[in-house]
Structure 1
Amino acid sequence: MTVSVCAPRDVPALVASAAALFAEDGGRRDPFMDTGWPAREGHAYYASLVENPACLCLLAAGGHLIGRLRPPDPLRPTAVRAVLESMRVASEHRRSGAGAELVAAFLGWARENAANDVTVAAYAANHGALEFYRAQGFEPFEVVLRHRNGWLSTVDAAH
């Protein structure tokens, strides 16, 4: 398996993988996800990440990983945070080691950049992703809870 750091010429492949992630994950699990965003805005967005030294954009067979260093947070001033912002491995390459190689490359980059706090977010309903990230050494830290009916149903009921 080959993991490579994205160059500007790789942006179309990065956009295609991100678009597939939007459709496969967010589009199935988040009713507000704009699955058309990568096609409209993705090229400029991902091209800027490829050029940004505080970002890591990787490609591997059938997938990608985007990592980012976050600026210091005044509430956690000693945390140097690296965020695994986006990752996808195409279904035909899952369980091949591609995901583990992408994460290992990201963790190496985070270590090289003195990160001492490394995070990833996943949909609670994406049990496969949660299991995968746990196997890579991630553990639950924060939990975001969302009201199942949302505020709009309450407002509609009042009218």
Structure 2
Amino acid sequence: MTDIEIRPATLDDLDGLAHDSAELFAEDGVARDRLRDPEWPRDNDRARLAGLVAAPDALVLVAVEDRVVVGHLVGTFSPASSMWTAARAELVSTHVVASHRGQGIGGRMVEDFIAWGRDRGAARLHVSAYAANSAAIRFYQRYGFVPLSIDLALEVD
């Protein structure tokens, strides 16, 4: 087995990062939310990710094996504001390709995110998961995340 390198993403990683992000979008978002446009990543995600790679208040990590992106994590930092009394960091997305799950790759990225948020002075780290995605909920709970709020939805035709 080859070693997996986890490191900050660069623009050179954009193709693999966008591909991995699109896999997450299809596997989780589109599969669990009928209002998600399955074609959105094709037209939008590359520019969004390029902006995040360059943003000073974002953490974009890639897990790479033999120069191929096999996972990613995106986090953002928000300082205290007139509405928020303390700084926060949000884990926006994390994904590991199915063939590489169970090897601790996702956990290593989440641990890096937690350290990054703490180092920046975040008083709270936040992640969202679909209620139907019990595996993701259990995964994040292993790292100390606990439920804070519940989103309720009413589907109307």
1:35-54 to 2 correspondences below 5 Å: 35-54=38-57
* Counterpart position of 2:5: 2
Q: Does 1:75 align with 2:83?
A: yes
- 1:123-146 CA-to-partner distances (Å, cap 9, x unmatched) read 000011001000111010111111
Q: Aligned match of 2:102 in 95, 99, 106?
A: 95
Higher helix share: 1
User: Secondary structure of 2:5's match?
Assistant: coil
* Counterpart position of 1:14: 17
1:52-71 to 2 correspondences below 5 Å: 52-61=55-64, 62-71=70-79
Cα 1:92–1:86, aligned 2, differ >3 Å: closer, same or farther?
same
Shift of 1:71: 4.2
User: Secondary structure of 1:10's match?
Assistant: helix
- 1:51-103 CA-to-partner distances (Å, cap 9, x unmatched) read 001000001142100000124343332x2100000111111111110010000
User: Secondary structure of 1:3's match?
Assistant: strand
Q: How many residue pairs align between the two structures?
A: 149
**Distance in 1 (alpha carbons) for counterparts of 2:22 and 2:105:** 19
Shift of 1:9: 0.7
Q: Does 1:32 align with 2:40?
A: no
- 1:24-58 CA-to-partner distances (Å, cap 9, x unmatched) read 00111000112211111111111110000100000
Higher strand share: 2
Q: Does 1:134 align with 2:141?
A: yes
Unaligned runs of 5+ in 1: 154-159
Percentage of identical aligned residues: 37
Shift of 1:111: 1.2
Q: TM-score, normalised by structure 1?
A: 0.89
* Counterpart position of 1:109: 116
Letter of the structure 2 residue corresponding to residue 98 of structure 1: I
